Copies of this chain bind each other. A is one copy, B any other.
Amino acid sequence: METTWDDRLRQAGLRVTRPRLAVLDVLVERPHVDAETIATAARAVHPSISPQAVYGVLKALVGSGLARRIEPAGGPALYELRVGDNHHHLVCRECGRVADVDCVVGAAPCLAPSDAAGFVVDEAEVVFWGLCADCQVARRQHGYGTGTTSSSIRGGVRA
């Protein structure tokens, strides 16, 4: 731990404030959280923080490159502090849990489309959808052997 959050904020041209440090604290402890969860957790440190302040802080952090925003389909935006390494995400269809996946290729865009249709591509965003370990167990215990009987499973794309 060499550079403090104070330093990092100032390096990014941002003032060091209690709401910002509170939000950063939450993000350090819990990667992949949504704004409301951040607000609730941040109130443990800074009770008067408002939801709008959280949105403002997050926008400032993302805008200055200190945090990254991801938006998995069907849920609120999630925020994480792991930036600059072009990693990807695993998302559980059942419980929404998110895990990081290292990008084996490296620098963005790690993949190139076969035919870019005239686009200049600068990022390839990859989301792996599936079931986390816990939800696999839970499903087996409820008697769901193989089929996609359960509720929240979206129409799969299984060529």
Which A residues fall within an 8 A CB radius of B? 62-63, 65, 68-71, 73-74, 77, 83-86, 88, 90, 92, 99, 101-104, 106-109, 111, 113-133, 136, 154-159
Cross-interface CB contact of A106 among B70, B74, B115, B159, cutoff 8 Å:
B159
Copies per complex of this chain: 2
Separation of A63 and B113 alpha carbons in the complex (Å): 28
* Chain B hits for A73, CB < 8 A: 69-71, 77, 125
Q: Which of A108, A154, A158, A159 has the most chain B CB atoms closer than 10 A to its own CB?
A: A159
16 contacts between A and B (CB under 8 A): A63-B155, A70-B73, A71-B71, A83-B157, A85-B157, A90-B119, A101-B113, A101-B116, A101-B117, A102-B114, A104-B114, A120-B131, A120-B136, A121-B130, A122-B156, A124-B127
A159 close to B129 (CB less than 8 A): no
* Chain B hits for A92, CB < 8 A: 119
Supposing A113-B101, A156-B108 touch, asked if A129 and B121 sit within 8 A by C-beta, the answer is: yes
